Structure 1
Amino acid sequence: MKLLYLLFGFITFFAKAQENFVQINGSTNVNKFQCINNKFKPEAGAYTFSDKNLPNIILKVTDFDCGNRMMTKDFQKILNADKYPDMIIRFINFIKTQKSIVAVVEVRMMNQSKRYNIEFDVENNRLVGRKNVKFSDFNITPPKKMGGMIVVKDDLNLIFSLATKI
């Protein structure tokens, strides 16, 4: 049985290493959740980053998968996927340093935009960045379920992993 878990973990890691994804991690007062969108890719096979060519990434909100049908449906409802089907990630500025890459990234969803400074690392021709954000950054009130017994926390961890040509 342990071998199956190890094999599943390796396959999951290998699959994530081969794809672009945006992952949103959050928690409630009861447990944690993880919603991933890996159904997007650049036209050229990898994203390019230069002064003249910074990517805009359009994510379909309905492409996020939280690993549980009910959680996925709730997540898409929170983001009002019917009215606002797209989440747009636009790179505004991109600066290479000796150790990493610092970018100004605009995240737009539900007619709300927020800019973040995000530090990215280059790992195996992938640009990987993490940023703590909040539902409230986008004027979203974290939901409550079961009459307030389950409360979604405002804090989220956003992870980007993009195949790149740098």
Structure 2
Amino acid sequence: MKATCYTRLLSIFLYIGALCVFVSFKGPNLGFEHATSELHWTVLPNSFITISGSSNINTFGCEASGVFQAEPLRGMVAKDGVSVNMKGAIRIAIGQFDCNHRMLTADLRKTLKADAYPEMAIRFMSLERMPLCDGGTDYITGKVIIELAGQRKPFNIRCSFSKTSTGYRLEGSRAFSFADFDLSPPKKAGGLVKVKDDFDVTFTLLLNNCH
């Protein structure tokens, strides 16, 4: 009788031990197999980019929409299992920015050296993690390289990722200075109108899917 009880207890302990080993080895793998490790975004043509700033007199905003070239944005989870290595860029002709004011538009193009460097590019390098696709607004930080006026500079940009009626929206904005790109803000009317050194670049990218 004692031998039978001992045998049963031993069987139970062996079963529990085997179950723990199975879970410890299989559990994480099951989670990884069902996790998204890649993303592929197509940027839709109704996306737009805005450059905004101010002078000692007023503010201004110059927008380019639906006229830029976009490579597919691709991402792969990095070796750390969290961050995402990105490839892809959006390119916009400086001549396409419209400030709704002829002289201001001409000044912006001249300041950004449009004749020598006709394009601006935002090249995506990484995201801190995969964005959430739960229908709410998710905030993530990404690293980009801005190519402007012959300069190529890395920056971190805080982005929001949200669902729309037709897909998803990725929005990012960052303050820059003309000095970041070795540029001087324009001056007009004998220096009486002075554009401030700081300006913002905001992009709103409409995407075809989440991942």
Q: How many residues align?
A: 147
- Residue equivalent to 1:77: 110
- Residue equivalent to 1:100: 139
Matched, 1:138 2:181: yes
- Residue equivalent to 1:90: 123
Which structure has more RCO (C-alpha within 8 Å, separation ≥ 6)? Answer: 1
Counterpart residue type for residue 28 of structure 1: S
Distance (Å, rounded) in 2 between the aligned partners of 1:49 and 1:25: 28
Going from structure 1 to structure 2, the CA distance change for 1:32 and 1:95 (only over 3 Å counts) comes to same
Contact 1:49/1:94 (CA < 8 Å) preserved in 2? no
Distance (Å, rounded) in 2 between the aligned partners of 1:159 and 1:70: 22
Distance (Å, rounded) in 1 between the aligned partners of 2:104 and 2:141: 33
Counterpart residue type for residue 62 of structure 2: C
Identity of aligned residues (%): 36
Counterpart residue type for residue 141 of structure 1: S
Residue 48 of structure 1: CA displacement? 3.8
Q: Secondary structure at the match of 2:128?
A: strand
Residue 155 of structure 1: CA displacement? 0.7
Distance (Å, rounded) in 1 between the aligned partners of 2:170 and 2:198: 23
Distance (Å, rounded) in 2 between the aligned partners of 1:42 and 1:28: 31
- Residue equivalent to 2:161: 122
Q: Secondary structure at the match of 2:196?
A: coil
Question: In the alignment, which of 41, 48, 58 is matched to residue 21 of structure 1?
Answer: 48
Identify unmatched segments of 5+ residues in structure 2: 1-44, 77-84, 133-137
Moved over 3 A (4+): none
Residue 41 of structure 1: CA displacement? 5.0
- Residue equivalent to 1:60: 93
Contact 1:20/1:41 (CA < 8 Å) preserved in 2? no
Q: Secondary structure at the match of 2:75?
A: coil
Q: Secondary structure at the match of 1:74?
A: helix
Going from structure 1 to structure 2, the CA distance change for 1:42 and 1:110 (only over 3 Å counts) comes to closer
Identify unmatched segments of 5+ residues in structure 1: 1-17
Residue 156 of structure 1: CA displacement? 0.7
Residue 25 of structure 1: CA displacement? 0.8
Taking only aligned residues, the RMSD between alpha carbons, in angstroms, comes to 2.0
Residue 144 of structure 1: CA displacement? 1.0
Counterpart residue type for residue 152 of structure 1: V
